[in-house]
Amino acid sequence: MKKSSGEAGTPVKQQPAKPKAIRSPAPRPSAGSQRNRLAEEAVVSATRALLLEIGYTQLTIEAVAVRAGVGKATIYRWWKGKPELVASIVREWVAPPSLDISQGSPRDLLVDFIYGIVRPVARGPFGQAFIEMLGDTAVRTAISKFMAERRMPIKAIFARLVETGELPKRLDVDFLMNTIFGSLLYQSIFWNEVNERETIERLVDLVLDGKPAARLLPPQE
């Protein structure tokens, strides 16, 4: 007679319990990444302040580190050197406005975009610092790379004017943009003239259709 599994002397096989699913805790922000972000913001803020206070020529990585309260090694971890650090600041400073270039007056859009780009160097201490930067080949090279991106919306606006027949199909867009920005830069560097919005409006009018009024001196008050 077979003994049941429950009878004495016969071991009862226990089924292994299924392991309970363990939920991983939600990831928490890394304290290290938080410190890095705060340190980076401190470096950017210090660089901006020093550019306005002492200009580009006298700016040093050591001065930035002291002002930001970080070590020089921290700065070199994110930027190759002074030119790259300053170029990243300029990139933020000359950011054009966020506009839908498919809507609105192309002429007004041109003025808005150009003014958004040149406004930082149009007035104040940063204008002088910007002029000093242009003497550094490394900074000028870095700035030219992202300025090429800034030109793309302006090219698209000119393309709209060509599509509507307001400008000829064989339009030399690069030449027109160089004419606009070259004129504004010339006024700032050699004549220390402030590029007000009104100046940009007149220049855009002159480039687009050569309105006689755009060539005249502004009325005397």
Task: Return mean pLDDT, the chain.
Answer: 78
Give the H or E element holding residue 174: helix 173-190
pLDDT one-digit tens code per residue, 108-161: 989 988 888 877 665 556 777 887 888 899 988 888 888 888 888 888 998 888
Contacts for 160 with CB less than 8 Å, ≥ 6 apart: 101, 102, 106
- The reported pTM is 0.65
pLDDT one-digit tens code per residue, 79-107: 999 999 999 888 887 766 677 878 888 88
Q: Which of these CATH numbers, 3.30.420.40, 1.10.10.60, 1.20.1300.10, 2.40.50.140, describes 34-78? A: 1.10.10.60
Domain ranges of the chain: 34-78, 94-215
What is the CATH architecture assignment of 94-215? Orthogonal Bundle (1.10)
